[in-house]
Chain A
Amino acid sequence: MIAEIGLAVLWMAAALAVLQLFAGFSALRPSGQVLVGVVRPLAVIQGLLVGISFLCLISLFLETDLSVKLVAANSHSMKPFIFKLAGTWGNHEGSMLLWITVMAISGGVVALVEKRLREDTLIATLAGQAFVSLGFYAFLLLSSNPFERLPEPAPEGQGLNPLLQDVGLAFHPPTLYVGYVGLSVAFSFAIGALITRDVGPAFARAMRPWVLGAWIFLTIGITAGSYWAYYTLGWGGWWFWDPVENASLMPWLAATALLHSSSVLASRNALRAWTVMLGVIAFSMSMVGTFLVRSGILTSVHAFAVDPERGSFILALLAIYIGGALALFGIRASTVTEGERFSLFSREASLVFNNVMLCGILGIVLLGTLYPLMTEAFDAKVSVGPPYFNPVSAIFAIPMMLMMGVGPLLRWRKDKPSRITATVAIPALVVALVLLGVVLMFPSIRILPMLGLAVGIGLAVGSWLPLKGRNLRRTPLAVWGMVLAHCGLGVALFGAASESAFSIERLAAMTVGDTQQVGPITVKLEGMGPIAGPNWTAIEATISASYNGGTPVMLRPQARTFTSPPGERTESALHTRWNGQLYAVLGNEGDDGRWQMRFWWKPFVPLIWLGGLLVAFGGLVALLGRVAQDVKRVRATDKIAFRKAQQDMLK
């Protein structure tokens, strides 16, 4: 019954989206004025209905209703609760329903709360949102119905990939999804503003919280994904530049650029066309990323048959939305009037510089991701990896990070270099000293980690300078957010550079009682033994690790064997200290009874993810600041209107 309700509600929501699209576009014509009032309620009800539909799917998964095909294929009655829940979106159909759910609810929220934008622009935005979501409704209802029943209920579910039975991974995809979908709201705002030729500060202010929110989720998603890859895959690396990772990085880069340019548009009414363009590009990158991952077009050369059907569908949507939006941009861009001018030495100019750098990185990541496909068109098979991505992205990233130390200190519109030279000297000195120190103490490390260490520390210090001379209590939250996010990026860069420069790897075949020296840590294999979990069994090694002869701590890496369905996975063990991490992986047993063990000592590596979280936290602080400001502003205008009404009454 629940499955049928879920499907029916989903169809109703799709019908409302059709209504929302046509009502919206009719309302924009002079003859359609009567429809102006219905668009907002339609969006709200649509959001509610899809939310109900998603709850239906969740409840089917929680009670493991094996008469539903999707549940039978992806869940199992023995599975722990949390993974039953995660099973809802851990598959193609469920994740598409999650996508449309987030999208419709966001549309409903826009319809409910957005009051600053011109009414016609808002209606055009909601119509755009309906247009985008219709494609996904069609995809879901016509080719990937999550509520499909089996002719006969299955005796037992097929479980979930053991590699996916991991709390981090259970919540990693939905986090990225919310980010992608948040960018669809920004996209709809851009479309709305282009349609009604209303590209101005109000548009940027309305769009900004959505971009910021999406950006926070993307940041968390990428950080968590990177940490997941680091500890689950057992390869010791934290970023592999593989297409799936790039697919999440590209929208983040575009969203970062959009965030900054919409700030310029909101406060200075400049960069109008550029902001609209980025709004389109940011969502394009979400779609391109989804397409690349889902279609399997870029999977490694060892992948087997790929079903082009799903890919074709997403590609068709991509062509309609992005092609349409870019065509609309082409038609309307000449009517987007110039914004305010600014001088070469101003905060706007520094933001433009960093926008260009971000787009440069975006371009090279996109190029590197698609390059194997391009050369294959000319009959050559290549793979592109870190030797390309690392140095080429650094060409853009290093100047960008240097500029991040300067830009926030500059005034809007026009500034004098002499005003900030003394302030900038502090981080510049830090960078120079660190660079000198590293060159003298570790002459053997390569140039990129060396620059990374220096620029990372410089940025982590320099990012606090915008607070200099301010009354800290009265500093807007948005400024605090910026400071924290910039500092976080410096911290993450330092962690990454340190990992690359100073990591120590040991590969050893050990029997119980053997010791190994891994950098400053002495590890000893204390014992081997079997262990059983809820749906797996494992061989577990007990290892004591002592830092410079200090009190030993115990690590327990495992090689797990899953029962439902059968599968194997290594569970690495980590020991985190303030100054680094010991990473231990248990390998196979050799013929001679010795166990293959792999250890890494990675100085300061946790800073990569702490920095990432700090970036996200900075975003959150800024978002709270913006929302609080908006609420205050709405209250003030309400109060003014109320006073005015009272005065009119008195008259």
Chain B
Amino acid sequence: MSEEAPKRSSLAIWLPLALFGAFFVLVIWGLYRPADRDVVSAFVGKPLPQFNLPAATADRPGLSTAQMTTGKPRLLNVFASWCVPCAVEAPQLEALRQQGVEIDGVAIRDRPEDLNRFLANYGNPFARIGKDDLSEVQVGIGSSGVPETFVIDGKGVIRHQHIGEIRPEDVPLILQKLKEAQS
């Protein structure tokens, strides 16, 4: 084996510089890209899985997939009475409900007495509350924690996922996503 061909092709010599140029362009882009670090869930754009949850409290019915495909966009809120940020977002959910948004809840690993106390303390903006003791629905819609809020369109397709508590500044985005889901 000889070291290299006696006459180097001039293109190969410039290859390292070209690769470096590509690297440079990539990181410049990476450095100045808009600071969008949200991870878009793989479930966005997918229809809801089939589920039928029993009622979590006495005064609200349970929740099934069929009830969420009513032709009107709605919110699906994954929460729990033992979750402090869920209490923090309660006023924002109430505000959304007052603007005519229909909100369904999925209570994760909860006990009826705790849940009733939570709803009594922080308000109950939910039309229905399903009881998800094994986190089946939660996992099925790609939620990894509480609270999370999903925008579901009229056909039961997930259109947006909000991770963490809804803060007052998040409300306009959620309203906008609901509006987009209408079309």
A binding-site residues for B, Cβ under 8 Å: 270-271, 273-274, 277, 280-281, 284, 288, 291, 295, 297, 301-306, 308, 311-312, 315, 318-319, 322-323, 326-327, 329-330, 333-334, 338-339, 341-344, 349, 352, 370, 373-374, 376-377, 381
Contact = CB atoms under 8 A, between A and B. Distances in A.
Contact of B10 (A334, A342, A349, A377): A334
A377 B26 contact: yes
A338 B4 contact: yes
A297 B27 contact: yes
A352 B31 contact: no
B1 A327 contact: no
Given A315-B27, A326-B17, A273 B39 contact: no
Contacts of A315: 24, 27-28, 31
B31 A312 contact: yes
B32 A338 contact: no
Interface centre among B2, B10, B27, B28 (most CB of A within 10 A): B27
A330 B8 contact: no
Contacts of B24: 315, 318-319, 323
A270 B3 contact: yes
Interface string B64-85: 0000000000000000000000
13 contacts: A277-B16, A295-B31, A304-B37, A311-B31, A323-B21, A329-B16, A330-B13, A333-B13, A334-B8, A342-B3, A373-B27, A376-B33, A377-B26
B14 A330 contact: yes
Interface in B117-167: none
B100 interface: no
Contacts of B14: 330
B28 A349 contact: no
A303 B17 CA distance: 32
Contact of B31 (A297, A305, A338): A297
A381 B31 contact: no
A322 B27 CA distance: 15
A329 B24 CA distance: 18
Given A330-B17, A349-B1, A381 B26 contact: no
A305 B34 CA distance: 10
B23 interface: yes
Q: Across chains A and B, which 7 residue pairs bring their CB atoms closest together, nearest first?
A: A326-B17, A344-B1, A333-B13, A308-B31, A373-B30, A297-B30, A330-B14
Contacts of A295: 27, 31
B26 A301 contact: no
A342 B27 contact: no
Contacts of A302: 37
Contact of A334 (B2, B13, B16): B13
B35 interface: yes
B6 interface: yes
Nearest to A272: B3
A288 B8 CA distance: 28
A338 B6 contact: yes
A327 B14 CA distance: 8
Contacts of A343: 1
Contacts of A304: 37
Contacts of B26: 370, 373-374, 377
B10 A338 contact: no
B54 to A, nearest CB: 27
A303 B39 CA distance: 12
A381 B23 CA distance: 18
A277 B8 CA distance: 14
B10 A370 contact: no
Nearest to A345: B1
Nearest to B14: A330
A274 B37 contact: no
A270 B14 CA distance: 21
B31 A339 contact: no
Nearest to B16: A326
Interface in B9-64: 10, 13-14, 16-17, 20-21, 23-24, 26-33, 35, 37, 39-40
A347 to B, nearest CB: 12
B146 to A, nearest CB: 17
A306 B35 contact: yes
A167 B26 CA distance: 37
Given A326-B16, A374-B26, 19 more contacts: A274-B4, A280-B16, A281-B16, A288-B23, A291-B27, A297-B27, A301-B37, A302-B37, A306-B35, A308-B32, A315-B24, A315-B28, A323-B24, A330-B13, A333-B8, A333-B13, A334-B13, A349-B1, A370-B23
Contacts of B32: 308
Contacts of A338: 3-4, 6
Interface centre among A270, A305, A322 (most CB of B within 10 A): A322
B98 to A, nearest CB: 32
Contacts of B10: 334
A344 B3 CA distance: 10
Contacts of A377: 26, 29-30
A333 B29 CA distance: 31
B167 to A, nearest CB: 15
Given A301-B39, A322-B20, A342 B1 contact: yes
Contact of B35 (A288, A305, A330, A334): A305
Contacts of B8: 273, 333-334
Nearest to A383: B39
Nearest to A373: B30
Contact of A273 (B4, B6, B37): B4
Contacts of B23: 288, 370
A165 B35 CA distance: 32
A352 B4 CA distance: 11
Nearest to B38: A301
A174 to B, nearest CB: 26
Contacts of A344: 1
B1 A339 contact: no
A323 B20 contact: yes
A65 to B, nearest CB: 35
Given A308-B32, A311-B31, A327 B17 contact: yes
Interface centre among B26, B32, B37 (most CB of A within 10 A): B37
